Every structure is written in structure tokens, then in C-alpha cells.
Amino acid sequence: MRIQDTALSRNNYVNVGKDGTFLAGNDPLFNSTPQEIDQLFKELKDKNQTKIVFYFHGGLVPANDGMDTAKRIVRYVNKDTDAHPICFIWETGLSKTVAHNLDIAGKSEFFKKLMVKVIKVAGKKLGIEAVDNIGNSKGVETMKESEINSELNKEEPFGNYQVNVQSKSASVIDAETVSSDAELKARILPEIEAELEEEIESDEEFKRVAAEEKSEEESGLINPEYTGAEVADGKGIISSAKLIAASVKITYNVIKRHIQKTDHDFYPTVIEEILREIYVSNIGNWLWGSMKKKAAAMWKPSDFMGDYQNWHVGSYVIKKLEEYQKETGKPLTIDLVGHSAGSIVICELFKKLKADKSDLKFRNIMFFAPACRCDLFDEAILSSPERFSSFRIFTMKDELEKQDQLVKHLYPRSLLYLISGILEEERDAHILGLQRHITGNKPYIGDMFTRIKTFLADEGKIVYSKSDDTALGGFKTGSLSHGGFDDDKETTLDSMVHIINH
């Protein structure tokens, strides 16, 4: 729902255009100019304002949603603090693209049949059993395809499952004792190849669905590697040989991730591996990568000469901020708040300031459900402890993260899980906002994980939703969804206000 109030003052927001520049878009409401930023800092000077809050929304939203969030943040900060809020609006609209593309894949008959084959073979090898509401279990190895399809019609397929160690294949049990990928492949790949070849070659209906012309939308999503070379117009026709090859890769990776404890539970991992292999770069990976580039590009150096539309917005704001601090003759009190991919923007800002040897320092850093990678956080934030005084993450416990279903039936996990499992280049990419990646438990061990765990171990550095009624001010959060942390009536914003005031 749009926030129906007066237009936001230009002194409270900065819009970031294409490639992180001032390049004007189609809607004048969202365009920013250096002159407007000059005016913003003039207002700060006129009011002798030395307390500033910079807010960076998530990078998955369109401009209108970004503006609505900015209005909400400005309202909270203006009402209950003596700081001046400045919101960066840097829309990408990725969430709608991802949701649309997931919907296309999920409705595909080819996708559904491929899913059944992978579940059938991987589930059998791993000893997966579906458990019903009264505790009865049934192993995938004994399930007919019609029964698997019935399970897939549930709101969360295989949402309640267990692993029967006695039903695991001998090859998987053997593979659990080795560490190298080569040894792993040697133990389980031959069986997977044989079983899938038999499954697919004997299923004429599946081969027909794979080979038939796909819709234009689905064809545009399919990895060109798997479309028939003889098809000039690329209509998504997949040969039996390529179908078997793809199914083997997908099934192997599902099993491998379970063995190495990097799975996101059985069904979500199957979905992730199908999407990575068949629809690899078209679900939203390219847009996610572009968004991360924009998060960094806005801080690129500029000489601030010539056409201002080529200047980088973030760098210009920092230039004016440094000039203003020098003019005041004392350090400014600056707080940084980033929601979701907004945490990536803050990390990239820290990298810029370190490279520029800037004197700017910050009081508080607050991350809401951060989507930044752990290695980026380690490189940018943990390497510069002298640049900030206080740090706090608000995010969900893993059990709530798993209940935050992005797409019911198809992908019953949160946006952070989707980023980790599909949108990032590697599988189970380490995301700061996912509890599983920051507790230092196996398999997430090593120097980087130790540094993050040690840093967050200090009291007050991380608050998991949902906090209880006894939580003190600044430690309250009640969000049950990834996008809910900056919503109205959400106690996280009350915590933000408390931190700003203290």
C-alpha cells in the first residue's frame, strides 16, 4: 500500500540513477541533482545540524516502494529524534522480476516432471521420507510418481521430512567418508547416471514434454546449453541426451550438498539446483549482479567536471559531507542504517572511505536482515573497526527464516535463502543475515567465520526476531518476514529510534 502523505522533501532523499550516477530517469520525482544535494547541506548548516542518519533501503524494490520506505523512515526519525534523515533511493525492481520468472518456471510442465525425477532419484539415495500430519512416514524410494506429485501440491512440499539412515544407498554412505569432489563423484555419479538414464529413456511422456516447443517466456529463461542446437529460433527444445545430462548434474549436486551439510533442506535444494542448472542466469541472477554493481558504482571517484549526470551520486554526497564536517570544525554524528541489500551499499561505502583514506567516522551501524555476503562484511566492516563506534544486526532466527515463504508451493524459503541458493554465483553463498552462516558451526568454520562469530559475540551486536516482551529499548524486533523490518508498527523501527537517541 502506498503511503498517502505529502511529497518527501528533497532535503530528505537522494535518488541514485543508472550505474550509480545522477543520470535522469523518466520520472522527475525520483531524479536528484548536485544542486539539490548542495541545498540539502545548506539546510543542515542553517540549522546547525550535526546529527545525520543515512538510510539505505533494500535493492530489490521499484522506485515507488523505495520512496514509500523513505517517507516512513523520515517520519520516524523526524518525530522522535533530533537527527536529520537522508534516504538513498536506488531502485532495481528485482523482486518483481524474480517472482515473475519463478512463476513461469513453476507452471512449466517440463519443470514439474524434471522435479519429480530428481526427487525420485535423489530422495531414494538420501533416504528421504515424507512425514504426514499424524507422524506416518513414507520413503521416497517406495513412492509412485503420482504420490510425489501429491506431495508437490502441498503448500510446502516435503516440509516435514526425515532421513532414514537405514534407507540411504551404500554409495551415499560411502561418499560421506570422503572429502574431495573427485572421490565424491567416483562413488555416487555412476549410479545416478545409470538410474536417471533408465528413468528418462523409459518415460516417453517426459521426453515429449522436454522436446516440445516451450512458451516464449519459458524459452527465454532456459539455459541455451540445453536447447537443441538444431533449433535456430531457440524455442526451448531439449534432446534426451541433454535432458539426462542436466538431470544427472542436478541430482548429483542435491546429494552432494546434503552430504556436505550445505543443503537448504531437501525440497528447496532440489528447486535451487534445477533453477541453477536449467534456468541458470535468467531467473534474476543478472539483475542481482547488476544491483550489487550499482551498490559499488555509486561510490566511484568522480572529478565532478562536465555533465553532472555522469557524476557518481554517493561520491558527491560524501564530498559534501566531508566539506560540511570540515566547516563545522568538529566530527559529525552520523548513523548508518541498511535493510537487506542496503547493507551491501554500506559495505561498499566503507571500502571507498578506506581507499580514499577519509577521516569520516560513524557512530552507529544498523543492519536489518542484511543481504551482504559474509566475505564482503569481513573485508569492508570488520577490517575498519576504528571507523564506527557501535554495530547491531536485526534479523530472523533460522526457523523463522524458513517459514518466510517467498513463493508458496515452489520456493518455501525466504529471500535471503533465495539469494544464497540461487542468485549468488556459488551454492549456499554465505549471507550475513542468515543465522546458519554466522554461528561458527560446521560446515561454516575457518578464519572468516571465526572473526564474524567473535565480533557478533559481544553483547548487543545481534538481535534475533522475534524478541520477547522483556527486551530493552534498542533490542526489540518482531518481524516475521524479510521485508517486514522497516514496516510501520514493527518494533525494529522503534529500536532504530532508540539507538539514534542514545
Site of grid cell 528447496: 268
The model's pLDDT over 394-441, given as tens digits with 9 standing for 90+, comes to 999 999 999 999 888 899 999 999 999 999 999 999 999 999 999 999
- Geometric angle at alpha carbon 11, from 10 and 17, rounded to 5°: 55
Report the DSSP pairing between strands 128-131 and 333-339: unpaired
Adjacent-strand bridge partners of 163: 128
- Determine the pLDDT at residue 388: 98
57 to 291, 331, 343: CA distances (angstroms):
12, 25, 9
- Determine the pLDDT at residue 6: 58
Does the structure show a pLDDT above 60 at 3? no
Q: Enumerate residues 6+ apart whose C-beta is below 8 A from 430.
A: 373, 374, 375, 420, 437, 444, 449
Does the structure show a pLDDT above 80 at 230? no
The model's pLDDT over 110-128, given as tens digits with 9 standing for 90+, comes to 999 999 999 999 999 999 9
The model's pLDDT over 146-196, given as tens digits with 9 standing for 90+, comes to 999 999 999 899 999 999 999 999 999 999 999 899 999 999 999 999 999
Tell how far CA 331 is from the center of its chain: 34
Adjacent-strand bridge partners of 312: 21
The SS3 assignment for 8 reads coil
How far apart CA 443 and CA 263 sit, in angstroms, is 11
Does the structure show a pLDDT above 90 at 366? yes
Q: Find the Cα–Cα–Cα–Cα dihedral 396, 381, 287, 28, rounded to 10°.
A: 100
